[in-house]
A and B are shown apart, each in its own frame.
Chain A
Amino acid sequence: MIQGTFLTPNTIDEAVKFFSSSEGSVKLLAGGTDLLVQIRNGFTKPDKIIDIKNIRELQEIIDNGNGSFTVGAAVSGASLAEHNKFGKNWPGVLEALRLIGSEQIQGRASLGGNLCNASPAGDSVPALIASGALAKVHGPNGIRSIPVEKINLGPGKTNLQKGEIVTQFDFPDREPSSSDSYLRMIPRTEMDIAVVGCAVNISMDGDKCIDARIALGAVAPTALLVDQAAKIIIGSKLEDDVLNEAAKACQNACKPIDDKRGTITYRKKVSGVLFKRAIQIAKERALKV
């Protein structure tokens, strides 16, 4: 079905060919939980829709051993949750993805869609960034692997070139005693958009933190990797004063907006609070691994 306005490629090459050679506005359809709402609202009116869910690589979950996984960009939250090992190795990534919407949404929503929709508040994005995952991007000029934090440029904007598709996420090897966590602040208990999200991924050696990646969501035009906070805690025993200093670094990294869900002052304050809570969870998980 090369002609027509709804395309269902079965291979990455075919999808890239359709996507790069199409005239007019073209949208990729993964779970569609954002795209269909945008079409419905008249926010976008694509001339062509390319459904990428029939491509094997985009639906696979591959266990590479040592805690490393390759996860297809269109794998749904419900499918990833059913994998017997992924959530043990990357509980923070899984809990972040699973926070998005209801079970109905989970039947379709994917990591790739959440990233490429480029909302500053996408819950799985900080967790992907903290994990150190690389996004595999196929395009007309070949394949490139990009750290997740480099994909989004601002609300609704990515730095993907014409014809480029995020196909898979490569999660790195897991060091011993390492784990991750994600917390978000919303005004209600469930099913809302993050006011602040914080993901922490740490490796411990006894009570000493030997590696860390910290990411914040919903506090800037894109999710942020907060290196300053990670530098403060690496090498420490995560004592209170160290965590307070790192929490300040998180607050300073925020460039939030004032909106109906939260003020600038509130979002900054909460980012520090969530960081301190998330790191306790990640640490407890890491020490159990």
Chain B
Amino acid sequence: MSKIHVTTKINGEETEYLCQPYDTMLDVLRNQLNLTGSKEVCSSGDCGACSVTLNNRLVCSCLMLAAEAEGKEINTIEGMTKNGNFHILQKKFLEHAALQCGICTPGMLVAAKSLLDKNPSPTETEIRFWLAGNLCRCTGYDKIVRAVQAASDEMKEKA
């Protein structure tokens, strides 16, 4: 089987890689590009730990073939920190203790950022529905929801 050559943009940087037709985007991110922030947990689109954005659309990178990234833009958790500074969401997750084991956290952050980019003032219900595809076994979700609300408030103040 010949490998597929893919040219794409990941976290704003032009990136090239070779992949097999069955490789998922998550396989390539973690195993070839050393972007191990996106986690592999369920591999079936239920848990959201592998969340990334594809042309600004929130998707599970385990349910996307790496070959599909050709000509597209991917953003991962690694792109969230700018010049060494945490994103407001990351700060609020720490302040609100919105994580324990941390496995779900990258996916939660990517999903939460995608929500706030689309809807800067989500209601609690909207936050809970949006994050329904991100499973967390530690926090009970409440602290995560509070952290997203706090980030939303602070981002609005700064805007």
Contacts and interface: CB of A to CB of B under 8 A. Distances in A.
Contacts, number: 84
Given A6-B67, A36-B24, A107-B57, A101 B129 contact: no
B4 A105 contact: no
A107 to B, nearest CB: 4
B129 A104 contact: no
Contacts of A65: none
Interface residues of A, number: 27
A66 interface: no
Given A102-B48, A103-B130, A107-B59, A39 B22 contact: yes
A138 to B, nearest CB: 22
B35 to A, nearest CB: 18
A74 B129 CA distance: 24
B63 A32 contact: yes
Interface in A80-105: 101-105
A28 to B, nearest CB: 13
A271 interface: no
B133 interface: yes
Contacts of B65: 6, 29, 32, 36, 49, 51
A37 B44 contact: yes
A102 B54 CA distance: 16
A8 interface: yes
Interface in B82-138: 111, 114-115, 129-130, 132-134
B63 A37 contact: yes
B51 interface: yes
Contacts of B2: 3-5
Interface of A: 3-6, 8, 29, 31-33, 36-37, 39-40, 49, 51, 53, 76, 78, 101-105, 107-108, 190-191
Given A36-B45, A104-B51, 6 more contacts: A76-B57, A102-B48, A103-B114, A104-B111, A108-B63, A191-B132
